[in-house]
Chain A
């Protein structure tokens, strides 16, 4: 087989995947955050500071992975293939029957792929989207409850496209049984959804698990699940496989408890913790949706993420994407790659084209680092003032989206320590029924109500006036410029206006998290 790897100038994988756990823990400890956006300490993972501040082998694993690296997610895309429909547990936030016509684009999400179809789909997408660097299996059930299909898919893809990184997302129940198989296929990123480490809490999240040919419920079920999750995580760490932990924040059920979860997973070597908001509405037909369990507000979510940040990477750019999503995080091009269309495509794997694209991206990332130089000068004037701003972007780390076209806004926190990415807010209106322009603007204002300003490439006169009336300053003077640099330039100007008495700095209120369909907590 020809080596198509575009990373052959980088240190290779160790021949023996099993490493000493203390060695790994030491490296993780030494790696004090892969991003120091503006010196705020633990900001985002894999940021512009890049290779200099993490062990080479970890940087190599995360640098092109949009989920593991906040900075990479501006540039690199992922795809999920839905080859694993079966599940071995039931969660109160999941309803396998839910299939909203607007959200799921009929015939796409319900489309199960065979490993052969999945492999062809990966080739088709990789040839069309050169920035597609990661292939994940995230369901729609649990990949490890479908081991034959999952590993056959990995085998086929590693044969045809060896440069693509493989990852999977699991509930962890079956994980200890498959860790060695995961290592064998060089799957070097595994996500485990861990919502609790105490069965007392767990029994309110998981109605049942399927274990040793029986359905177990209540405390007993949650106890086995948490034991298996912790064992699986330890086994991944021992083998040098990066583990990301996903947790669903459920107010009143596990919100306070997630601090304990954070401690437990950190001590077992987890690389990244992603706390996601519960998405819950009666029409989803989930237990939580039907019993009125609410999700957290934007500020509640941020407060918990901030509290858990300590010295562990927190992921704040998760889009809770679907099990068959294709593209950059936040975009979904799955409709371009239905099985019917793929089978009709004549696909050639353009390794050279992909390599060229990815080299261009690296140059772009370096330019972004250069653009940040000097941006912290003058920020000491901020004193205690800190605020949030929203940014309309299509990726590449620049302000390049029209206000009216934005399906989401990225949120940056600005203070004396610099600019830091802290999350995103979806404002697309799938599944919300009849909507017009006014409804749409109202939804956006609710979603970014905690922000002082919104940065856009362009904006019309009407929304501009409405935003100003709502106390959110529309900023279109930095079109197609780098986000952090622009945000800090604006922030310095804001501080100058406050100092001159032209404006008065005031705190903003809370914001709402859009309650869309949660088809897969990937």
Chain B
């Protein structure tokens, strides 16, 4: 399942955008969003999802349980 960004928590710090190995993160209005079609949870790239590891606010980059599991 992909990650998503909780918009009300996002500080717009941009840190996750540059780290995403899939270029799945972009700015949209007053927050950043993750394209679920591109997110791989960093599997195959890094041990930890990079957006979660760098985000300055806990529980902001979270698993998107609203979407079904899929293999991109």
- A interface residue numbers (CB < 8 A to B): 85-88, 90, 96-97, 110, 112, 140-141, 145-146, 210, 213-215
Contact = CB atoms under 8 A, between A and B. Distances in A.
7 smallest beta-carbon distances between A and B, as pairs? A86-B15, A215-B53, A96-B56, A85-B13, A96-B11, A213-B46, A210-B54
Contacts of B54: 86, 88, 210, 215
B26 interface: no
Contacts of B19: 213
A141 B48 contact: no
Contacts of B46: 213-214
Interface of B: 9, 11-15, 18-19, 46-48, 50, 52-54, 56-57
B13 to A, nearest CB: 4
A87 B15 contact: yes
Contacts of A85: 11-15
A214 B47 contact: yes
Contacts of A140: 13
Task: Summarize B's interface: helix, strand, loop or mixed.
Answer: loop
Task: Summarize A's interface: helix, strand, loop or mixed.
Answer: loop
A210 B12 contact: no
B8 to A, nearest CB: 10
A86 B53 contact: no
Nearest to B54: A210
A141 to B, nearest CB: 6
Nearest to B50: A213
Nearest to B18: A86
A97 B57 contact: yes
Nearest to B16: A86
15 contacts: A85-B11, A85-B14, A87-B13, A87-B56, A88-B15, A97-B9, A97-B57, A110-B12, A112-B14, A141-B13, A146-B14, A213-B19, A213-B46, A214-B47, A215-B52
Contacts of B15: 85-88, 141, 145
Q: Quick one: which of B9, B13, B46, B57 has the most chain A CB within 10 A?
A: B13
Given A86-B14, A86-B15, A110-B12, 15 more contacts: A85-B12, A87-B56, A90-B56, A97-B9, A97-B11, A97-B57, A112-B12, A112-B14, A141-B13, A141-B15, A210-B53, A210-B54, A213-B48, A214-B53, A215-B53
